[in-house]
Every structure is written in structure tokens, then in C-alpha cells.
């Protein structure tokens, strides 16, 4: 199963508690660890894709963006042990060219050190936008003088595997430019739970609900 999650609600979680938004992001990072570890132990989940930073997130206050970059660097440094212990391969999608050299090196180092892990692939969407991804894929085909077909477009996406189950936390009911192509036939679940309050128990209930759905992929 390819599970994708739009992790939403960190800021609102903090605001409800009278805390700064960055505290919500810190707590959210802890939940990423818990959910990723749960998925690594769940044999039916092979890919976990998390919407960590969108192409639109640059519009946030400069101080918050800088904090998120530092948090990502710190998260990858701390979580390398978790990746190795739980046999988790780390990958990314999106354009990280805007990131600092230090962060880009951290990303590449983490990818290299976990490349042979097989139990679960955790994919972080970083500076990612689905429209941008599809546009880049089509441009690549044109530059290579390849035929523009659905199959060729899919092969050239940052992430070629279709999503089976998409979850969005915080009560918002939209995709926000996340994996639009890959979610064409995904089963979608929207929960009012804010991301820092999301638990493996709730995820387990959603997965059980997912198995009750009949997936016809346009057929009868």
C-alpha cells in the first residue's frame, strides 16, 4: 500500500494552547516519527509519503520558514538512527535547489545511508507542488523528444507509484496541490484531528475503514 498524508494543523494546535506556531511544528515532527515507525511495522504499507513543505509555503513569515528549515535538518540528523533501526529508506520529492547547502547535504547523506533499507520507504515532499511536478515531467519528455502519453508522464514524475490511501488532518477538505496525478483513484479520508494530535490508533482505524471500501477504478 502507498499511504500519503497531508500533515495539517500544527499552527492551530499551538494557537489553541497559547503557544507559538513553532511549538506546533516541533510536536508535529514527533508525530512524524511515531507514524513512520508504526508504518514500518505494518507489513501492508510499503510507501509513506508525507507533505512536509509545499511550493506555496515560502509565502509564510520568513522567521517561520527559517525555523522549518532548521527543524528539518535537526529531524533528519536525529532520525537517522530510527531509519536504520526500523529498516526505513528515506527519499524525497520536489525541488530542493532553494535549500541551503547544509540542508541539501543532510538530505543526500540520509538518502545514501538508508538506500538499502527495505521494510518501508518514507518519502518527504519538500518544496513540492503537484502542478510543478507534472509540468517538469512533460518538459522532460519534450526535451527528450519522447511521445507524450499517460504512461510516459507517470514514469517521469518525481513519484511514479499511485496512491492507495490519502489522509488529510485538521478538518480541511482539499488536496492543496499534493500528488494530484497519483491520487486519481486514491481512497481519501479527512479527519478533524490536528496533526500533532494524530495517533497510530486513529491511523489503524482509518486503514481498517479503507479495507471496507470497494475500489472499482472506474469499473462496475
| Catalytic, out of 10, 57, 116, 143 | 57
Contact 155, 171 (CB under 8 A): no
Distance from C-alpha of 119 to C-alpha of 86, rounded to nearest angstrom: 7
Q: What are phi and psi of 187, to 5 degrees?
A: -85, 135
Sign, CA torsion 27/75/159/62: positive
143 an active-site residue?
Answer: no
- Which residues are bridge partners to 60 per DSSP? none
Active site includes 57? yes
CA distances to 23, 71, 197 from 15, in Å: 9, 19, 14
- In whole angstroms, what is the distance from residue 69 CA to residue 20 CA? 17
C-alpha 139/C-alpha 143 separation (Å) is 6
Residues with active-site annotation? 8, 57
Amino acid at each position: 500500500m502507498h499511504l500519503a498524508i497531508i500533515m495539517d494543523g500544527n499552527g492551530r494546535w499551538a494557537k489553541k494552547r497559547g503557544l507559538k506556531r513553532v511549538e506546533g511544528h516541533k510536536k508535529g515532527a514527533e508525530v512524524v516519527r511515531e507514524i513512520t515507525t508504526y508504518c514500518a511495522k505494518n507489513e501492508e504499507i510499503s510507501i509513506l509519503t508525507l507533505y512536509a513543505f509545499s511550493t506555496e509555503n515560502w509565502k509564510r513569515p520568513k522567521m517561520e520558514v527559517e525555523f522549518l528549515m532548521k527543524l528539518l535538518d535537526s529531524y533528519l540528523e536525529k532520525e537517522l538512527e530510527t531509519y536504520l533501526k526500523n529498516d526505513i529508506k528515506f527519499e524525497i520529492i520536489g525541488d530542493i535547489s532553494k535549500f541551503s547547502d547544509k540542508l541539501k547535504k543532510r538530505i543526500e547523506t540520509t538518502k545514501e545511508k538508508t538506500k538499502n533499507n527495505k521494510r518501508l520507504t518514507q518519502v518527504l515532499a519538500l518544496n513540492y507542488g503537484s502542478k510543478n511536478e507534472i509540468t517538469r515531467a512533460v518538459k522532460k519528455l519534450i526535451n527528450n523528444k519522447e511521445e507524450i502519453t499517460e504512461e510516459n508522464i507517470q514514469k517521469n514524475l518525481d513519484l511514479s507509484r499511485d496512491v492507495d490511501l490519502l489522509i488529510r488532518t485538521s478538518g480541511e477538505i482539499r488536496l492543496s496541490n499534493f500528488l494530484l496525478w497519483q491520487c486519481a483513484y486514491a481512497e481519501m479520508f479527512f479527519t478533524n484531528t490536528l496533526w500533532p494530535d494524530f495517533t497510530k490508533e486513529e491511523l489503524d482505524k482509518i486503514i481498517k475503514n479503507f479495507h471496507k471500501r470497494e475500489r472499482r477504478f472506474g469499473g462496475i
